[in-house]
Copies of this chain bind each other. A is one copy, B any other.
Amino acid sequence: MELKRKAPDWQVQKWFNTAVPLSLEKLRGRVVVLHAFQMLCPGCVQHGLPQAVRIHQHFAAEQVQVVGLHSVFEHHEVMTPAALSAFIHEYRWPFPIAVDQPDMASNIPLTMQTYGLKGTPSLVLIDSQGNIRYNIFGQASDMAVAAAIMSLVNETSSLHGPSNKSEDDQPGCSDSTCAIDPKTER
């Protein structure tokens, strides 16, 4: 569903994959894709995080910044920053990842609370002005996610074409294409 409210600042215990801490203020001007996950959440490992990687790979960094948010609300004793570090190392997740600040008074960490996330995986899309525009709990298709991100990109920037990598110009059929053989044109 579409929303529009100011995205709260992130409350972060520790950052990975970035030399300097990120903030919404520093990212103003770019669309921010915030992917909240837990390292032991099957839907995150199988669907959410790989989709975040595809977003990271497809969109230009000047337009879209993917940020992981490790929002632990269960099994806190084993989903520690040290465990997360090993998880990031083994899976080679390529984008910056923040550890959501634990709340001493609740199982739900602070950023997860202020964003009103229902669980993991959650995908929060923040426009270039810093407003939350989508907050999706569970799986969304690449088709839906890319269309929503592109809408936000288009609000502030000009067009940006698809990466078109798998072109295949050999005549004949491969597994993926059937190319015209100049000889068949007679």
Contacts and interface: CB of A to CB of B under 8 A. Distances in A.
Contacts of A75: 86, 89-90
Given A83-B83, A143-B54, A151-B150, A118 B180 contact: yes
Interface stretch (A10-18, A19-27, A163-171): A163-171
Contacts of A108: 180, 184-185
A149 interface: yes
Nearest to A79: B86
Contacts of A159: 2, 151, 155
A186 B108 CA distance: 9
Given A119-B178, A140-B164, A177-B121, A86 B40 contact: yes
A99 to B, nearest CB: 14
Nearest to A176: B43
A137 B83 contact: no
Contacts of A150: 146-148, 150-151, 154
A78 B74 contact: no
Interface in A73-88: 73-75, 77-80, 82-83, 85-87
Contact of A178 (B43, B105, B179): B43
A142 interface: yes
B177 A160 contact: no
Interface of A: 1-2, 38, 40-47, 54-55, 58-59, 73-75, 77-80, 82-83, 85-87, 89-91, 105-108, 117-121, 134, 136-151, 153-155, 159-169, 173-180, 184-186
9 contacts: A40-B87, A43-B175, A43-B178, A78-B85, A90-B178, A118-B180, A140-B163, A144-B163, A145-B146
